[in-house]
Amino acid sequence: MDRRDPDGEIARRALAYRNWGRWGEDDRLGTLNLIDDAGRAAAAALVRTGRAVSLAQSFDMDGPQRGWRRRTNPVHTMLDTGTDAERGLQGFPHGIGGADDVIAMPLQCSTQWDGLGHIFDRGSAWNGRRAGDVVTSDGDLVTGIEHTAAALVGRGVLLDVGRHLGSEPSAGAAAGELADGFAILPEHLDACAAAQGVEIRSGDILLVRTGQYARARREGWGEYAGGPAPGMSLTTAGWLHRHGIAAAATDTWGFEVRPNEFDVPAFQPLHQIAIPNLGLTLGEMWALDELAAACAEAGRWEFLLTAPTLPITGAVGSPVNPIAVL
Amino acid sequence: MDRRDPDGEIARRALAYRNWGRWGEDDRLGTLNLIDDAGRAAAAALVRTGRAVSLAQSFDMDGPQRGWRRRTNPVHTMLDTGTDAERGLQGFPHGIGGADDVIAMPLQCSTQWDGLGHIFDRGSAWNGRRAGDVVTSDGDLVTGIEHTAAALVGRGVLLDVGRHLGSEPSAGAAAGELADGFAILPEHLDACAAAQGVEIRSGDILLVRTGQYARARREGWGEYAGGPAPGMSLTTAGWLHRHGIAAAATDTWGFEVRPNEFDVPAFQPLHQIAIPNLGLTLGEMWALDELAAACAEAGRWEFLLTAPTLPITGAVGSPVNPIAVL
Amino acid sequence: MDRRDPDGEIARRALAYRNWGRWGEDDRLGTLNLIDDAGRAAAAALVRTGRAVSLAQSFDMDGPQRGWRRRTNPVHTMLDTGTDAERGLQGFPHGIGGADDVIAMPLQCSTQWDGLGHIFDRGSAWNGRRAGDVVTSDGDLVTGIEHTAAALVGRGVLLDVGRHLGSEPSAGAAAGELADGFAILPEHLDACAAAQGVEIRSGDILLVRTGQYARARREGWGEYAGGPAPGMSLTTAGWLHRHGIAAAATDTWGFEVRPNEFDVPAFQPLHQIAIPNLGLTLGEMWALDELAAACAEAGRWEFLLTAPTLPITGAVGSPVNPIAVL
Amino acid sequence: MDRRDPDGEIARRALAYRNWGRWGEDDRLGTLNLIDDAGRAAAAALVRTGRAVSLAQSFDMDGPQRGWRRRTNPVHTMLDTGTDAERGLQGFPHGIGGADDVIAMPLQCSTQWDGLGHIFDRGSAWNGRRAGDVVTSDGDLVTGIEHTAAALVGRGVLLDVGRHLGSEPSAGAAAGELADGFAILPEHLDACAAAQGVEIRSGDILLVRTGQYARARREGWGEYAGGPAPGMSLTTAGWLHRHGIAAAATDTWGFEVRPNEFDVPAFQPLHQIAIPNLGLTLGEMWALDELAAACAEAGRWEFLLTAPTLPITGAVGSPVNPIAVL
């Protein structure tokens, strides 16, 4: 890889792995098309103990946002409270009282899915559409997240790269954690899968644990939202494409390694290939530690994963509470 | 039932069906405790075809809110757009462009769960706590919705009362729909279950379809957010308790029949029993029509249901995209 | 005026009254440049009794918005309450308690100023800039409302056309009110000024009362946000230009008469001339009734007007509480 | 002053300076009653040059909030943009295009007024009302900021204590700035007024410049929102009362000196006396530097001040763009 040429490295991969037209001109789902009913039924059949694990962090003011791109942490306010109800201020009959609430939050602020309208490649959106024909200030008019409402259920596979490699590479990271700046390469993914004895299949929802989320919770977010992090290498684009990954998520802010793997200014080059070219839905800031422990204990790294988007019309992303059932 | 005495009718049932202390003094989950790992594994084993159905309506300005209790429909705005990206205004390197977005919405505005902090009975919250000790302007400090993050996965059962009774009762409703003001009684639930050949079990997540959602979508919401609707009768409180329902949802704004079944002012009396006394999580505005058609076609009314809350710290409710897998 | 040719009627006036370049290539203020220090000093010298009148309606859920263009009424929520403080829940020392609050609102939802970035004429913004060079999803990068922070103080003149003509024209309006659809023509403005004995001068902030606001408050907003209303005729564009009006406001939702004066689809044609071509800041939904009564009582229709924008960086409009001092 | 006894020091002053009942049992304005029409007329007569100065900082994400008490900086988003208009995406006739926008912000996030419902003293609000009878989750039901809509116009007086004392006291502050932690005492106010040759009168809106705002803009906000700052001493409560100050504002986050003047935990003790006991409206984060320079140049420290609240129904505070006219 030529570390001085992000344009070339990105353009070459975009062309090589582009899925435009693969599911028709009107497609709104990209690689989510790789999950079918049979695959979902097979995923349900993976369930053994029935243990359910949530992969969401809590949505509150303790999150990682520091204002970059006007992203705040979720602001939750009450419209009615128990204090008011108990004091008899609400004016309802027969002693009923209530509490209501409101949320204001960027859809990219916490555990989330990036939809297909979230990233563009030189003015093009998923399936080769012009970006301005897809996402205006009215939202994503074509590939809005609402179209994925029933799509994100299937076989989940966890590759715990943090656990697999976490004892070796570099400074500042505890056991089971990759260091900031560590780029996960295709060979790391293959080695981890082999060590775990799990096979990657077309239609899988791939979860990659770096361990950075545990570190951020332990040491404070610092510059987490955009700062240095372990993550997927640009060179995994072909691997994701070849394996028929339907959707992929990590436990970091931005999915891919930060700083990015170039010696000149670069920003999220793997996104630029994955979302508008592959049509790959990406997950970020997933809390994978409890799941990782459960998988290690069970010695199994596959499970039923249900990670439904909130079908906000025209949204380019969605907060999500993914549920793994083992 | 004495239609002039809501206080008495409510108080009697609250006392009769109260689950306070049943799961310990510190309990935060109420009847969600009735779902266990074994039940979840059994629910996963119900999956046959792998067909997934979303039970959420779209979250947008076309929803049913008209401003009552400061509830608006969801307001979705963009922080960045494809139009800007295509025009080259974003300042990112190597041709990457992006779109980001924000949501502001009441947690009770669309397809949702009512959490245990949502309703109080004469100043008391779930498990006998004082309402003001539970929900302040900082949110629900005890039973916040985040505690349910992994809880709402289990066996779902649909009772399609609209289909079962929809041909008979009253005016203004099409076939398969109950009329506004129609109160679903325990015997209706029993007869519907018998007709469908489905057995209700402890730990079930019960879905009751009235058909009103289809009517509202067809004819416009009108004064839907609080207006007349078919729904559960106050007298189903005992039935819900006796059957060990873990959570229950309908396709109407307010779960229970509107106007409520009293000749004097009354407001959501079944909520007053169900939430703070039974500890029952209630779902509202679920879109059940596609699921109903799928169940009718398959001749099966049970399925795996995953309806994860968004774990907003201290929330008294949550928007939800429930996923049924058949 | 050719009622079948909005394009031609607009284009002709845009060309005739265009102020592009008049205050330099870098101008951000348009006709607000017509207010100078001497004019402000003269305006202050108009003060006699010192009576202050607010021209804002209240900002709350009872406003005129019905969801069009995602405009809601203002949603005001509390972060802390007196109920919580009184109950001792806030954790502050020495008995201090507090209440805090939050607002979420469209800047165009209530009494407001339209800034120079609010309207475009065939892709052009004020001073001939390309619309996309001025207002992106980051806001108005050139003529953001913050540049007007100190500009909106000067001589205010009220033309109470409702009072002047309100006894004659048409149906559905009480005395002192113009009927919906009534177009205020230049000759109406001149006659009203003459009847009131007030002279219009360059640099004035012109207030035109139709009386519709009183009617809306009395009878409910109905479809007010965009519905039929009395208002300024397209043909007043030249009058506004010729008199050197610095800014102009009415007591209606949209400043100009609705429906607009064409037999084919048209939308706010006077805006299209006034804002991007004249560079005229427009005010809407101003509450002018108390001021009108005070002016009638005093027999004087000029006053010191202070109507400061809230300097939100990049905003294309601003809520405002205009203060007239007589 | 006993630095170990905040309770006693506060209670003593609260009792001594309490204005409860002074303007009737139903009063909603507190010391704003001290501004009358004659005073406003006299204030208008102070205008000489007509120069207008805005005392607001810009409202944007660069503000001082860091998330404390769920306070964010203002989040401004666009509903429509010039980019979309220029690209012809908006669907309006005859070439008109538009931009609209939305704000979400705590009312206490930037240049603001604290209303009478903002602070309580041992469960009591202004005029002796119980806090829970005044401010619930529905907002301030009694002294909501909307009642002040026309009240905040009058004679403004600037005491530039930063300039007066800024050369002497302590570390970390440039010329014309007070150091963090510096408590402005009554004698400082008197000496500054004498040096400036300005007399304080009943009904004045008092502005006290510390210079900290200039420092924060220069060096970054750091922990400004609640961190160390110069400001008014608790001991100025009597001075404010004795002089009949109608409203008072500073250029700091919290009006009074931080840390507060006690050796034990304390929080904003002057607020606890001023707001609920005196009924004094307080302003914070006012940008006073340009005004200070203008006053120094003119050698006059009095002016017409118009600082209208935004009349948000039930609000306990308001953002404000105060306008001084010299």
Interface contacts (A, C; CB < 8 Å) = 25
Among D residues 258-317, those touching chain C with beta carbons less than 8 Å apart: 264-269, 271-272, 304, 306, 308-317
Instruction: Report the C-alpha dihedral over residues A151, A154, A157, A158, rounded to 10 degrees.
Output: 60
Query: Is the dihedral angle over the CA atoms B251, B77, D75, D118 positive or is it negative?
Result: negative
Write down the pLDDT at residue A312: 98
Residues D52-59, mean pLDDT to the nearest whole number: 97
Distance, in Å, from the CA atom of B147 to the CA atom of B145, rounded to the nearest integer, reads 5
- Mean pLDDT, chain D, integer: 95
CA distance D84 to chain A (A): 6
**Cβ within 8 Å, pair A81-C79:** no
Question: Is the CB of residue A141 less than 8 Å away from at least one CB of chain B?
Answer: no
Spatial contact of C326 and C303, defined as CB atoms under 8 Å apart? yes
User: With 0-12 CB in 10 A as exposed, 13-18 as middle and 19+ as buried, what is C49?
Assistant: middle
Per-residue pLDDT tens over the stretch D284-322: 999 999 999 999 999 999 999 999 999 999 999 999 999
Residues B90-114, mean pLDDT to the nearest whole number: 96
Chain A residue closest in CA terms to B266: A93
Question: Is the CB of residue C116 less than 8 Å away from at least one CB of chain D?
Answer: no
CA distance C129 to chain A (A): 20
Question: Is the CB of residue D190 less than 8 Å away from at least one CB of chain B?
Answer: no
B204 pLDDT exceeds 80? yes
Write down the pLDDT at residue A93: 96
Tell me which of D226 and B39 has the higher pLDDT. B39
Q: Name the band, by pLDDT with cuts 50, 70 and 90, for residue C173.
A: confident
Distance, in Å, from the CA atom of A212 to the CA atom of A165, rounded to the nearest integer, reads 13
Write down the pLDDT at residue C170: 58
Chain A residues within an 8 Å CB radius of D73:
67
Per-residue pLDDT tens over the stretch C182-217: 999 999 999 999 999 999 999 999 999 999 999 998
Spatial contact of D323 and D305, defined as CB atoms under 8 Å apart? yes
C26 pLDDT exceeds 80? yes
In the DSSP assignment, the letter for residue C161 is H
Per-residue pLDDT tens over the stretch B299-312: 999 999 999 999 99
Q: Provide the strand spans (E) within chain D.
A: 52-54, 75-80, 96-98, 100-106, 112-114, 119-121, 135-136, 139-140, 153-159, 183-184, 205-208, 231-232, 247-250, 281-284, 302-306, 317-319, 323-325
**Cβ within 8 Å, pair D77-B78:** yes
**Cβ within 8 Å, pair B87-D83:** yes
Question: Is the CB of residue C50 less than 8 Å away from at least one CB of chain B?
Answer: no
Distance, in Å, from the CA atom of B131 to the CA atom of B140, rounded to the nearest integer, reads 10
Question: Is the CB of residue C59 less than 8 Å away from at least one CB of chain B?
Answer: no
Among A96-105, A296-305, C58-67, D249-258, the range scoring the smallest mean pLDDT is C58-67
Phi-psi region at A4: left, alpha or beta (left = phi > 0; alpha = psi -120 to 50): alpha
Chain D residues within an 8 Å CB radius of C315:
76, 101, 103
Distance, in Å, from the CA atom of D6 to the CA atom of D24, rounded to the nearest integer, reads 30
Distance, in Å, from the CA atom of C66 to the CA atom of B61, rounded to the nearest integer, reads 10
**Cβ within 8 Å, pair D50-C56:** no
In the DSSP assignment, the letter for residue A185 is P
Chain B residue closest in CA terms to C101: B137
Q: Name the band, by pLDDT with cuts 50, 70 and 90, for residue A268.
A: very high
Question: Is the CB of residue A103 less than 8 Å away from at least one CB of chain D?
Answer: no
Phi and psi dihedrals of A265, rounded to 5?
A: -55, 130
Spatial contact of B296 and B160, defined as CB atoms under 8 Å apart? yes
Interface contacts (A, D; CB < 8 Å) = 48
Question: Is the CB of residue A81 less than 8 Å away from at least one CB of chain C?
Answer: yes
Chain A residue closest in CA terms to C137: A137
CA distance C122 to chain A (A): 18
C167 pLDDT exceeds 70? no
Interface contacts (B, D; CB < 8 Å) = 25
Neighbours of chain A (3+ CB pairs under 8 A): B, C, D
Spatial contact of D125 and D276, defined as CB atoms under 8 Å apart? yes
Write down the pLDDT at residue C222: 79
**Which of B143, B140, B141 minimizes the C-alpha distance to B28?**
B143
Nearest to C83 among A75, A87, A102 (CB): A87
Phi-psi region at B39: left, alpha or beta (left = phi > 0; alpha = psi -120 to 50): alpha
Distance, in Å, from the CA atom of D15 to the CA atom of B136, rounded to the nearest integer, reads 30
Chain D residues within an 8 Å CB radius of B87:
83, 87
CA distance C285 to chain B (A): 20
CA distance B208 to chain A (A): 20
Write down the pLDDT at residue D223: 75
Residues A277-283, mean pLDDT to the nearest whole number: 98
Distance, in Å, from the CA atom of B188 to the CA atom of A109, rounded to the nearest integer, reads 45
Report the Cα–Cα distance between both ends of chain D, in Å, rounded: 39
Enumerate the β-bridge partners of residue C156. C205, C303
Write down the pLDDT at residue B220: 86
Share of chain C above pLDDT 70, in %: 98
Share of chain D above pLDDT 90, in %: 89
Distance, in Å, from the CA atom of D165 to the CA atom of D195, rounded to the nearest integer, reads 11
Chain centroid to Cα B177, Å, comes to 18
Write down the pLDDT at residue D89: 87
- Mean pLDDT, chain C, integer: 95
**Which of A280, A270, A181, A165 minimizes the C-alpha distance to A227?**
A181
Domain ranges of chain C: 6-69+106-325, 75-103
C169 pLDDT exceeds 60? no
Phi and psi dihedrals of C114, rounded to 5?
A: -85, 120
Distance, in Å, from the CA atom of D88 to the CA atom of C220, rounded to the nearest integer, reads 35
Question: Is the CB of residue D100 less than 8 Å away from at least one CB of chain B?
Answer: no
Q: Which residues contact B115 (CB under 8 A, 6 or more apart)?
A: B140, B143, B144, B145, B148, B281, B309, B315, B316, B317, B318
Rounded to two decimals, what is the model's pTM?
0.95
Which single residue is written with the structure tokens 């959570």?
B247
Q: Which residues contact C274 (CB under 8 A, 6 or more apart)?
A: C119, C237, C240, C248, C280, C282
Per-residue pLDDT tens over the stretch B124-172: 999 999 999 999 999 999 999 999 999 999 999 999 999 999 765 555 6
Per-residue pLDDT tens over the stretch D128-157: 999 999 999 999 999 999 999 999 999 999
**Cβ within 8 Å, pair C102-A75:** yes
A182 pLDDT exceeds 90? yes
Write down the pLDDT at residue A269: 98
Kindly state the greatest CA–CA separation across chain D: 73
Q: Is the ipTM of this complex over 0.95?
A: yes
The DSSP result for B97-160, as a single string, is EE-EEEEEEETTSSSEEE-TTSEEETTB-GGG-BHHHHEETTEESSS-GGGGTTT-EEEEEEE-
Spatial contact of A302 and A52, defined as CB atoms under 8 Å apart? no
C171 pLDDT exceeds 70? no
Chain C residue closest in CA terms to D72: C102
Among A11-20, C27-36, C61-70, D42-51, the range scoring the smallest mean pLDDT is C61-70
Write down the pLDDT at residue B292: 98
Nearest to B81 among A60, A135, A269 (CB): A135
Chain C residues within an 8 Å CB radius of D122:
95, 97
Write down the pLDDT at residue B167: 64
CA distance A191 to chain D (A): 42
Among A63-77, B112-126, C159-173, C250-264, the range scoring the smallest mean pLDDT is C159-173
Report the Cα–Cα distance between both ends of chain B, in Å, rounded: 39
Write down the pLDDT at residue B69: 86
Distance, in Å, from the CA atom of C49 to the CA atom of C151, rounded to the nearest integer, reads 24
**Cβ within 8 Å, pair C137-B70:** no
Tell me which of C14 and A169 has the higher pLDDT. C14
Question: Is the CB of residue A146 less than 8 Å away from at least one CB of chain B?
Answer: yes
Chain C residues within an 8 Å CB radius of A81:
81, 83-84
- Give the helix, strand, coil percentages of chain A, each rounded to 5: 30, 20, 50
Chain B residue closest in CA terms to D135: B137
A181 pLDDT exceeds 60? yes
Per-residue pLDDT tens over the stretch B242-295: 999 999 999 999 999 999 999 999 999 999 999 999 999 999 999 999 999 999
Query: Is the dihedral angle over the CA atoms A106, B138, D275, D1 positive or is it negative?
Result: negative
Per-residue pLDDT tens over the stretch D215-233: 998 888 887 788 899 999 9
Q: Which residues contact A61 (CB under 8 A, 6 or more apart)?
A: A73, A74, A75, D67, D70
Pull the structure tokens for residue B204: 């079930």
Q: Which amino acid is at D107?
A: L
Distance, in Å, from the CA atom of D165 to the CA atom of D184, rounded to the nearest integer, reads 10
Question: Is the CB of residue D211 less than 8 Å away from at least one CB of chain C?
Answer: no
Write down the pLDDT at residue C166: 76
CATH class of C6-69+106-325: alpha beta
Pull the structure tokens for residue C19: 């102020």
Q: Which residues of B201-210 are buried (b: 16+ CB within 10 A; e: fewer)?
A: bebbbbbbbb
Write down the pLDDT at residue C168: 58
**Cβ within 8 Å, pair D83-B78:** no
Chain centroid to Cα A236, Å, comes to 16
Q: Report the number of secondary-structure helices (H) and strands (E) in chain C.
A: 10, 17
Chain B residues within an 8 Å CB radius of C85:
none
User: What are the residue ranges of helices labelled H in B148-288?
Assistant: 161-165, 186-196, 212-219, 237-242, 269-273
**Cβ within 8 Å, pair D56-C120:** no
CA distance D191 to chain C (A): 31
Question: Is the CB of residue D131 less than 8 Å away from at least one CB of chain C?
Answer: yes
